Structure 1
C-alpha cells in the first residue's frame, strides 16, 4: 500500500472528477493521502474532503507566496484547526524566493510564527522551499524545529542540505521530479537518504512524473515515484511502498 503525503485534491483542477481521481488512486494501491491547505480557500476545501473520505487527512498552513496576506486571526484559526483529529500537520509553510508577491522578511516572519505554533500544538510541519535552501535550514535550526520535525516537501536540494534536514528530525519527501531523466539531484538524494527517513508524494495536480510530465498529476501516479526510488535503491517496490507508508503513519501519528 502507498501513502501519498502531499496532494492538492482541493485544487480547482479536481473539481469535476474528484470521485474518479480517488478511485484511480485506490486502484493503484494508494491507501492514505494528506490534502494540503495553504490559504483560506484551500484549507476549507481540505476540511470538507477529510470529513467525506476516510482515507484522507489534512495539513493546514500558510504558503510563503501569500505570507503578506496572513493575519493574527489566520494564525489563531490554524491553532484551532490543529485540534481536529484528522489534521495531522501544519503547512505547507516555508520560503519561496521565485515569486515576489511577499517580501522575504515577511515570509521569514510568517514562517517563524508557524514553526512556533507547531511546537505549541505539537504537530509536525510541512516545508515548502523554492530557491531558499540556506535560509530555510537556518530558520529551522534557529527555531529548534527538530522538536516537532516534519517533511521537506518535494525535496530538490543537495545531499548536503538533505543531511542538515535529517539531523533536525525531518523526513525527505520525493515526488515526480525524481523520475525525470536529467534530475540528477533528486536521484542522488534518493540513493543517499536512509529508507526509514524517506517519504513519497505527488504534489498533484503539479509536477506529474514521467511519462505524464506536463499533464495534470494525480495520486495514482505516486506509484511511479515509488518505482523509481526502488530502482535507484535496488530494492523491490513493495519495500519502498511499505517503508514509506510506515514512515508517514509514524510521523503523522496515524494508528489504524
Structure 2
C-alpha cells in the first residue's frame, strides 16, 4: 500500500509522522531521505536496529552521520538491545549500541531506544554514555513497570512510547497507569503492533486515536487531554 493510500486513512487533524529507518542498507537511507523531502508532514530518524548489529560497519555509520545533517532528521534510532530473538550476538549488540549512542550524543540528536528483554544491560550502557537531561524516546515499551520507573528516574527528559500493544496486552495497563501523562508518547511501530480491533491488518498512523483512547481509559482522562499532552511531549523531545 502506498503512502498516499495509507495517509487517506489518517484522521483529519493529523499533523505529521516520524519515519524510522533502522536497517543498515544504504539504499534505505537514501530512499527515506527522498521520502521526507517529498512529504512535508513526515520527518525521519536513522539508526541501526539491534537485529542488524552484525551488519553495522564504518560505511553504514558514515552514511548515518551524513543523514543527521538533513534538516528533517530529528533523531538517531531506533537502536538498542534485543535479547528476545538475538538475531545478532549480545556482545555485538552492546558494542554497536555504545557506538551509536556516542555518535548520537556527539551530534546532539534525540535518541530512539529499542529494549526487549535486555533492560539491565541497556540501562547500564545508557547511564555510562547518555547525560541525565538528554532527550530520549524509549520506543514501543513492553517491559515490566519497574523498568519504566527506573528509566524515568534516571533521565529527566525521557519519554515512554506506547503502541497498539496496550490495547491487547493486559500486563501493560499497570505500566500505562504508572507513567505520568507528561512522559508518554503515542506511536504505532507501523506496520506492526496494530491495535484492537484491527489486529492482523497493516498498522499505520491512522490508528493513533485507538491508542490514545486506551491511554485515556486506563488513566480516567479525557481523550482531548491525552491528545494535547502527548502532542506537546512529541514536539518537545523531537523539537518539531
TM range, smaller chain: over 0.9
1:1-256 → structure 2 map (5 Å cutoff): 16-27=1-12, 29-39=13-23, 40=25, 41-167=27-153, 168=155, 169-180=157-168, 183-254=169-240
Helix, strand or coil for the counterpart of 2:198? coil
How many angstroms apart in 2 are the aligned matches of 1:205 and 1:137?
Answer: 27
Offset at residue 26 of structure 1 (A): 4.2
Shift of 1:44: 2.7
Unaligned runs of 5+ in 1: 1-15
Give the drift of 1:145.
4.7
CA distance in 1, matches of 2:7, 2:28: 18
User: What is the CA deviation profile of residues 57-76 of structure 1, one whole-angstrom value per residue up to 9, with x for unaligned ones?
Assistant: 00000111011001012112
SS at structure 1 position matched to 2:32: helix
Which deviates further from its counterpart, 115-124 or 162-171?
Answer: 162-171
In structure 2, runs of 5+ residues without a counterpart are: none
Residue 92 of structure 1: CA displacement? 0.4
Contact kept, 8 Å, 1:119 with 1:147, in 2: the verdict is no
Contact 1:36 1:43 (8 Å CA) reproduced? no
* Separation in structure 2 between the aligned mates of residue 217 and residue 247 of structure 1, nearest angstrom: 22
Deviations 1:17-68 (CA, angstroms, capped at 9, x unpaired): 32011122143x3211100001224333321221111110000001110110
TM-score scaled by length of structure 2: 0.94
Question: Equivalents in 2 of 1:98, 1:212: separation in Å?
Answer: 25
| Contact 2:47-2:77 at 8 Å conserved across structures | yes
The TM-score with structure 1 as length reference comes to 0.88
Equivalents in 1 of 2:3, 2:188: separation in Å?
A: 16
2-structure distance, mates of 1:98, 1:43:
26
Task: Name the SS for the 1:74 alignment partner.
Answer: helix
**Please, what is the CA RMSD of the aligned residues?**
1.4
How many pairs align? 236
Higher relative contact order (CA 8 A, sep 6+): 1
Cα deviation, residue 219, structure 1: 1.0
Deviates further, 221-230 or 32-41: 32-41
